[in-house]
Amino acid sequence: MDIDKRILNDTEYLADFDLCQLRLYKDGDLDWFVLIPMIDNVIDWMDLDISKQIQLTKEIDQVCHLLKRYCVFDKINVASLGNMVPQMHIHIVARRKDDRAWPKAIWGTQSKKSYQSYMLDEWAKRF
């Protein structure tokens, strides 16, 4: 299955789960992940059968618990918008009250720090 080029440009591969590929969003400020169900022609939640919806929920939960174990945050945002990239993907972002957009949405904002490849290496050790 192909992943949308915009997702590939904005993220780096981290791991494969049973249903999804987990990617790290290239953001220098935030711990931000993207889960992509590896099934063709999935745009919306309802395009997944109920068993796949349950599996996706489990994988979202796994990432959220990983963030809880390793990060300091005030809120975890879990979102699937798809307005710009229709391929189904789930953003999981650890937000802090002092981040660049709090309390507003993070989309459309620019990271204050450049993404560094060591961030991927650090997360890769945790899987």
Instruction: Kindly tell me if the per-residue pLDDT of 1 is higher than 90.
Output: no
Residue 113 lies in a domain: no
Question: Tens of pLDDT along 9-54?
Answer: 999 999 999 999 999 999 999 999 999 999 999 999 999 999 999 9
Residue matched to tokens 């919306």: 44
- The parent domain of residue 62 ranges over 5-97
Any idea what the CATH number is for the domain that residue 47 is in? 3.30.428.10
Instruction: Kindly tell me if the per-residue pLDDT of 5 is higher than 90.
Output: yes
Residue 110 lies in a domain: no
Residue 127 lies in a domain: no
Residue 116 lies in a domain: no
Q: Pick from 73, 63, 66, 75: which is nearest to 20 by CA?
A: 63
Residue 44 lies in a domain: yes
Residue 88 lies in a domain: yes
The DSSP bridge partners found for residue 93 are 32, 77
CA dihedral 104, 107, 110, 113 (to 10 degrees): 90
Residue 102 lies in a domain: no
Question: Tens of pLDDT along 45-63?
Answer: 999 999 999 999 999 999 9
31 by DSSP, 3-state: which?
Answer: strand
Give the total number of structural domains in the chain: 1
Residue 121 lies in a domain: no
Phi, then psi, of 82 in degrees rounded to 5 = 75, 15
